[in-house]
């Protein structure tokens, strides 16, 4: 096993209701150190809500989320970020008024470790190189292609030196060539030994990247295991394709 047994991030019995709608119901799962866990499921199954609960956009109605045993589920996003959880957004979110370098620096300056001045500039540059964007540091955001924008966002999150990385459909919207580059990039993150939770629809990526998968349907966990296990699970196939195909 690649990962160590102790859990870094743990979600225990988390429920989130929006008025009458239960978006996430009694979800529980753990993420071990250096583990890459995929959260998959059909559209509307509550995956992004789960990400938003972990990153502090929402507070759970029930249950707790903890990082290294410390409860974080009552904290606002900025504190959760400083505790060491960094995230990307489903629809890439950059700061259009700032240069590429400044966008990445934003992560380094206020994140988990708070760098400033030259230190922050150097570290941000390092992260840009890390995602393959060296030489573009002073470009305006508007000139970047979609995958490069996604790279900048990833570099910003990495610049905060998070202990747990949340990738919310990071590969969505990429064309086939970009997809290959994207998967390789996440593969490198995996080889660096990062702890990652990724929401993803691209099955090839899930098969090749994830140590373990948590499958959600209608807000609940319906399966958990290695990608091979869960993707051949009857319940999972039913959730994706409907009763007739099961």
Partner 1 sequence: MRASTVQELVIAALLAFLAALWPLVVDIYWLGIGVDVMMYVALATSWVLFSGPTHYISLATAAFFGIGGFLVGSGMSDYEASFWPMAALSACVGAILAALIGLATLRLSGVYFVIFTLGLAEMIRNLVSWIQNNFLGSRGLYVFTDFTDKHLYWMLLGVAVAVYLLGWIISRSRLGFALRIIGGDETVARHVGIDTATVKVILFTTTGFFAALVGAIIAPRWSYIEPNQVFSPQLSFFVVIMALLGGAGRLWGPVVGVIPFLLIWNWVDTNFPNQSILVLGIAFLVIVYFLPHGVVGRLEQLRSWSRSLR
Site residues for partner 1 per CB under 8 A: 55, 76-78, 81-82, 86-87, 89, 93-98, 102, 105-107, 109-112, 114, 116, 156, 160
Minimum distance from CB of 97 to partner 1 (Å)?
A: 5
Positions of E strands within the chain: 7-18, 21-32, 36-40, 62-67, 70-71, 85-87, 164-168, 195-199, 212-217, 220-225
Q: How far apart are CA 131 and CA 193, in angstroms?
A: 16
Q: How far apart are CA 13 and CA 79, in angstroms?
A: 22
Minimum distance from CB of 59 to partner 1 (Å)?
A: 14
Minimum distance from CB of 119 to partner 1 (Å)?
A: 12
Closer of 93 and 234 to partner 1 (Cβ)? 93
* DSSP classification of residue 88: -
Closer of 112 and 238 to partner 1 (Cβ)? 112
Closer of 168 and 211 to partner 1 (Cβ)? 168
Tokens of 1: 């096993």
Minimum distance from CB of 115 to partner 1 (Å)?
A: 10
Minimum distance from CB of 110 to partner 1 (Å)?
A: 4
Closer of 3 and 87 to partner 1 (Cβ)? 87
> For residues 157 and 86, is the Cβ–Cβ distance under 8 A?
yes
Q: Helices in 167-243 by DSSP H: which ranges?
A: 176-191, 203-209, 227-231, 234-241
Closer of 109 and 147 to partner 1 (Cβ)? 109
């Amino acid at each position: 096993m690649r990962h160590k047994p102790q859990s870094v991030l743990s979600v225990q019995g988390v429920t989130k209701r929006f008025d009458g709608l239960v978006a996430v119901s009694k979800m529980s799962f753990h993420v071990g150190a250096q583990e890459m866990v995929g959260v998959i499921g059909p559209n509307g199954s509550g995956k992004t809500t789960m990400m938003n609960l972990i990153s502090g956009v929402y507070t759970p109605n029930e249950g707790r989320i903890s990082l290294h045993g410390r409860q974080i589920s009552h904290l606002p996003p900025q504190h959760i970020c400083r505790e060491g959880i960094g995230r990307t957004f489903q629809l890439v979110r950059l700061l259009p008024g700032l240069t590429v370098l400044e966008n990445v620096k934003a992560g380094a300056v206020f994140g988990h470790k708070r760098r400033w001045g030259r230190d922050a500039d150097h570290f941000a540059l390092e992260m840009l190189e890390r995602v393959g964007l060296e030489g573009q540091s002073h470009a305006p955001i508007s000139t970047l292609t979609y995958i490069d924008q996604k790279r900048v966002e990833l570099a910003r999150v990495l610049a905060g030196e998070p202990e747990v990385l949340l990738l919310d459909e990071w590969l969505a919207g990429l064309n086939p060539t970009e997809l290959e580059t994207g998967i390789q990039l996440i593969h490198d993150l995996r080889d660096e030994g990062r702890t990652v939770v990724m929401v993803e629809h691209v099955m090839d990526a899930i098969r090749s990247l994830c140590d373990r998968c948590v499958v959600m349907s209608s807000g609940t966990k319906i399966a958990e295991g290695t990608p091979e296990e869960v993707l051949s699970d009857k319940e999972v196939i039913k959730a994706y394709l409907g009763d007739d195909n099961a």
